[in-house]
Structure 1
Amino acid sequence: MGHYLKFDTIEKVFALRGEACMTLEELNALGILEARAAFELCCGSQRWIDGMLMRKPFASAEDLQAAGREIWGILDPKDWREAFSHHPRVEGLELLRIQWPGTPSVSDETFLELKKLYDDYYEKFGYAFLASDSGTRRDDVLARLDARLNHSPDEELKIAASEHEKITAKRLEKLVGQSL
């Protein structure tokens, strides 16, 4: 269980194992350092992680999810940006396939188009493009990226925060393997 906590995203752990990292009971039994590492796989905001640590133990998967939502709801834009900073930028085709599993056969030309939009997004907003529906088709990703590039920084920050909250919920679900 603990050796999977060295990965930087829960998606990589889940892809490697094909199952949850641990049970809810195992999460509740983790010491503070291992629990911190487990929560950091789900969200990179230290205030969020600290809040989750304070809420342990969790009575159920629903309790875990509710805590995640409540704590995210009290974070500020500085905390959001900290969480966003833990999302890797798309630098290569393999990372694109991890982030967007619905695009396994992306051509080099399409990849370059996606990469340019990702880079434009990062340049404008200062963080990686976040979207919770990672199974989306390539054309949908291109359209969403293009549309979101037209937002103001304040407007996009709120959208990215909402997307990150959904991503965190999915990661918590993968962490303990209990879908709601």
Structure 2
Amino acid sequence: MRDCCGSHRWARRMALHRPYPDLDALLAAADEAAYDLTPGDLSEALACEAATPLPHRGGLAAHTALSAAQAAYENKFGNVFVIALKGDDPASLLNQVLTGIRARLANDEDEERVVTADELRRITRARLARLVAERSNAQSTAELHR
């Protein structure tokens, strides 16, 4: 669970309420646990996050602008910038990250903590869904080889 969200409290809560009958129940529990994160829990989870990976496309100017924006964000808020990205086009992803950082740099600390918590919740949901899909695929493959 800690691979999905770096908060010990979140992971413990998720483990205590298992088993989950289906993906929807798992995601609902994850959301509920995420909404209950304290500022300290959120800081702990963010400390486990890496900076949003940069797509390889987009040119030097875009990467330079993004690196500068990430540094400004980390300097202002004291943690890495997290954003739940949509799609898989590298140019679009780069634009989403850069646009998101620039917009969120205007937030005050309290407002940004709320936005960051919601983005982390979305990222956690995506990681859980991916984990369940990977386990289902592995199980299906194992059953085929019996």
Q: TM over 0.5: same fold?
A: yes
Is 1:68 paired with 2:30? yes
Residue 111 of structure 2 aligns with an amino acid whose one-letter code is E
2:139 equivalent in structure 1 = none
Is 1:123 paired with 2:79? no
Deviation at 1:89, TM superposition (A): 2.5
Aligned pair partner of 1:166 in 122, 140, 143: 122
What TM-score does the superposition give when structure 2 sets the normalisation length? 0.82
Is 1:114 paired with 2:66? yes
1:54 equivalent in structure 2 = 16
Deviation per residue, 1:92-131 (Å, 9 max, x gap): xxx413xxxxxx4121221111000001000100111111
Q: Which residues in structure 2 correspond to 1:7-156 (within 5 Å)?
A: 39-89=1-51, 95-97=53-55, 104-135=56-87, 136-156=92-112
* Preserved CA contact (<8 Å) 2:85 2:96: no
Unmatched 5+ stretches in structure 1: 1-38, 98-103
Share of identical aligned residues, percent?
32
Taking the aligned partners of 1:137 and 1:87, their CA distance within structure 2 comes to 18
Residue 107 of structure 1 aligns with an amino acid whose one-letter code is G
Unmatched 5+ stretches in structure 2: 135-146
Taking the aligned partners of 2:118 and 2:86, their CA distance within structure 1 comes to 15
- SS of the equivalent of 2:82 reads coil
Taking the aligned partners of 1:147 and 1:67, their CA distance within structure 2 comes to 30
Residue 9 of structure 2 aligns with an amino acid whose one-letter code is R
Taking the aligned partners of 1:156 and 1:144, their CA distance within structure 2 comes to 12
Residue 128 of structure 1 aligns with an amino acid whose one-letter code is V
Taking the aligned partners of 1:112 and 1:87, their CA distance within structure 2 comes to 21
1:5 equivalent in structure 2 = none
Deviation at 1:134, TM superposition (A): 4.7
Deviation at 1:156, TM superposition (A): 0.4
Question: Between Structure 1 and Structure 2, how many residues are aligned?
Answer: 130
* Preserved CA contact (<8 Å) 2:85 2:93: no
